[in-house]
Amino acid sequence: MIGFLTNSMEDKGKIMIYYIDSKEKVSQRVVRIVSMDNKKVLAYCYYRRQVRSFKLENILSCGNLKKSVGA
pLDDT at 71 over 70: no
Q: Tens digits of per-residue pLDDT, 12-39?
A: 999 999 999 889 999 999 999 999 999 9
pLDDT on residue 1: 85
What's the domain count of the chain?
Answer: 1
- Taking residues 42-63, report their average pLDDT: 95
Map residue 43 onto helix, strand or coil: strand
In a domain, 56, yes or no: yes
Considering only CA atoms, give the Rg of the chain: 12
Under 8 Å between Cβ of 26 and 44 = no
Q: Tens digits of per-residue pLDDT, 56-69?
A: 999 999 999 877 66
Domain interval for residue 36: 2-63
The candidate with the shortest Cα–Cα distance to 57, out of 42, 38, 43, 35, is: 38
Q: Model's pTM, two decimal places?
A: 0.83
In a domain, 69, yes or no: no
In a domain, 32, yes or no: yes
- The domain spanning residue 16 has which CATH number? 2.30.30
In a domain, 15, yes or no: yes
